[in-house]
Structure 1
Amino acid sequence: MRFPVLVFDIETLTDLKSGAHLYGLDLPEADLEQALTKLRRQEAGMDFQRLPLHEIACIAGLWIDENGAMKLFSFSQEHFSEAEILKKFLSIFDKRHPTLVSWNGSQFDLPVILYRAMYHGLSAPSLFDQGEIDTQKRYNNYQNRYHHRHVDLMDVMAMFNGRNFQKLDDIAHLLGYPGKRGESGYFVPEYVKNQQWLKLTSYCEGDVLNTWLIYLRWLLLKGQLLIEDHRLWIQATIHYLQGQPQQQDFLQVWRERSQQTEFTSLDFPATD
């Protein structure tokens, strides 16, 4: 494992103002989302909006440093504007150059961050440079899918074949991890509208934790972690989460679902 590691995820909602501008709509705000959804269905046959229209409501991450210390964090619209969320996240790359780990980050999270950073006039060469500034990044940058500075687990586990893409929730369940615990990203706009910030950040952080656990299993598969080291990282993660009040539900569901697979059942020994 190349340290530091940053596992991340974003949660978004439709940017109604930008959508109205893009399509030339002059409608009350209450009618805009329905109109944008209808237009999207007409042009693409689905509700999922174009990437530039995804306003970022939350970015969560799990930082693991060279000494194995963990820090789970969230930047959300409870305290910050979208531009401020992006500035705080992008500033991480100005100071450090972590191994970035995501699920579908190459096709969704990073392109959305790119578009929204451009929308707000932000500069992020540490994340988006492909060798124009730092020549070393010509051969190992965050955009190239075959490099290892950014590991998009959905992509690499599908062997870079879109027909093999799987959902984070499904793989987490398969491996005995909590998954989304009955929640869905469709609730994100409601969380923001109703100012349910704890639900928003817990959901986003939950995706980060599932991604981290799958990443550990992937490293074990590739021989980049010995099984003894994998067990140590799992126990370190459990110990860390025991001190995180916001993630006690995640920890409890993990304990329950781990018993459904023989390998993962060892995460929580019977004497624990």
Structure 2
Amino acid sequence: MLKSDIHDTVWFFDLEWVPDAAGAIRLFDLPPDTPELEAMQRLWQETKDYDETENPRPFVKYLFSRVVSIAFLSRRVIHREGERHIEFAINSLPKLPSNETTVDEAEIIGKFLHYIGHRNPQLVGFNSAESDLQVLIQRGMVNEIRAESFSMRPPKPWEGRDYFDARNSEAHLDLLQRFSRGAMSPKLNDMARLCGFPGKIDATGDQVVDMWLAGDITKIVEYNQIDTLNTYLIWLRMVNFAGKLTEEEYFTEQEDFRTFLETEAAKEDNDHIRRFLAKWDDA
């Protein structure tokens, strides 16, 4: 199921995006002062799945999707006094807490790709090979970002990390590709909930646009972070299934992760982490 051993540094990542209103204004030659929602509406209307009653906000192409949040949970193996430990950290672009009502897309994409290119973590996502990675590439080009280190590829898969070949390299591990495809593909929330994890706690993906229009960047980033926590827990269940950890290591790491979350939950601005833990206890 999994070819390689667990990497010492792993980032579990997820993106949130909304229809690109500024792009719609350029694409359809709309007046420069067109309201954001009106410009978004034009993108939805031009999408083949649009239906005014049944599907008024269809999924738009990645090219037309403005990135508004990037969240990633890092998992790093460290050794202290001859003992192996797992160190976790939850990160986001923009950072929390956020008092802003908008996001510089070029800045957050550029920073994230720069971090990846220079730190070389294994990337783990859910539907990330065909979704998140494509958004990063296409919107990176729209924003004229240079990501030389991130873009480097080895001549052969076994000669180095390759984030662009999820079939032959596990430098980028898309968990969904290990499950059924098409109509039988599980959703992140469904898989998490059935595994006994919290899943989504306060919002769903179709609410991100309304959060964005309301200027609630903090709520978007919190929602984004929750998805990375669920992605990690599903990954942990998968590496246990594949025998990449001993049974003792698996249960110890799950407890270490809960301890990490409890530490994060004690921080003043992390009410979403507290709700995540509470829902985990009730699962």
TM range (shorter): 0.7 to 0.9
Aligned counterpart in structure 1 of residue 279 of structure 2, from 247, 250, 253:
253
Equivalent position amino acid for 1:8 in 2 = F
Residue 268 of structure 1 corresponds to which residue in structure 2? none
What is the percentage of aligned positions where both structures have the same residue? 26
User: 1:128/1:244 Cα in 2 relative to 1: closer, same or farther (>3 Å)?
Assistant: same
d(CA) in 2 for partners of 1:86, 1:124:
10
Aligned counterpart in structure 2 of residue 170 of structure 1, from 165, 171, 190:
190
Q: Which runs of 5+ in 2 are unaligned?
A: 1-5, 79-85
Question: Is residue 212 from structure 1 mapped to residue 238 from structure 2 by the alignment?
Answer: no
Question: Offset at 1:251?
Answer: 0.7
Equivalent position amino acid for 2:204 in 1 = S
Residue 82 of structure 1 corresponds to which residue in structure 2? 105
Residue 8 of structure 1 corresponds to which residue in structure 2? 13
Residue 65 of structure 2 corresponds to which residue in structure 1? 54
Question: Is residue 155 from structure 1 mapped to residue 173 from structure 2 by the alignment?
Answer: no
Question: Is residue 39 from structure 1 mapped to residue 54 from structure 2 by the alignment?
Answer: no
User: 1:97/1:35 Cα in 2 relative to 1: closer, same or farther (>3 Å)?
Assistant: same
User: 1:253/1:40 Cα in 2 relative to 1: closer, same or farther (>3 Å)?
Assistant: same
Question: Is residue 222 from structure 1 mapped to residue 242 from structure 2 by the alignment?
Answer: yes
Q: Is the 8 A contact 2:50 2:58 kept in 1?
A: no
1:13-60 deviations in whole A, cap 9, x for unaligned? 111111232234448224222222111146898710010111111000
Q: Secondary structure at the match of 2:89?
A: strand
1:177-216 → structure 2 map (5 Å cutoff): 177-216=197-236
Equivalent position amino acid for 2:279 in 1 = V
Residue 22 of structure 1 corresponds to which residue in structure 2? 27
Which stretch shifts more, 219-228 or 190-199? 190-199
User: 1:140/1:162 Cα in 2 relative to 1: closer, same or farther (>3 Å)?
Assistant: farther
Equivalent position amino acid for 1:211 in 2 = T
Which stretch shifts more, 99-108 or 136-145? 136-145
Question: What CA RMSD, in Å, does the superposition of the two structures yield over aligned residues?
Answer: 2.3
Equivalent position amino acid for 1:23 in 2 = F
Residue 262 of structure 1 corresponds to which residue in structure 2? none
d(CA) in 1 for partners of 2:61, 2:245:
38
How many residues are aligned here?
253
Residue 145 of structure 1 corresponds to which residue in structure 2? 166
Displaced runs of 4+ in structure 1, greater than 6 A? 43-46, 135-139
Which stretch shifts more, 185-194 or 237-246? 185-194
d(CA) in 1 for partners of 2:45, 2:221:
29
Residue 256 of structure 2 corresponds to which residue in structure 1? 236
Q: Is the 8 A contact 2:14 2:71 kept in 1?
A: yes
Q: Secondary structure at the match of 2:47?
A: helix
Residue 270 of structure 1 corresponds to which residue in structure 2? none
Question: Offset at 1:200?
Answer: 1.4
Q: Secondary structure at the match of 1:40?
A: coil
Equivalent position amino acid for 1:115 in 2 = Q
TM-score, with length taken from structure 2: 0.82
User: 1:42/1:129 Cα in 2 relative to 1: closer, same or farther (>3 Å)?
Assistant: same
Q: Is the 8 A contact 2:24 2:42 kept in 1?
A: no
1:162-209 deviations in whole A, cap 9, x for unaligned? 343210011001101111125211221222222323321211000000
Question: Is residue 103 from structure 1 mapped to residue 103 from structure 2 by the alignment?
Answer: no
Q: Which runs of 5+ in 1 are unaligned?
A: 258-272
Question: Offset at 1:145?
Answer: 2.0
Equivalent position amino acid for 1:109 in 2 = D
Aligned counterpart in structure 2 of residue 93 of structure 1, from 98, 110, 116:
116
Higher normalized helix content (fraction of residues): 1
Aligned counterpart in structure 1 of residue 76 of structure 2, from 32, 54, 65:
65
Residue 263 of structure 1 corresponds to which residue in structure 2? none
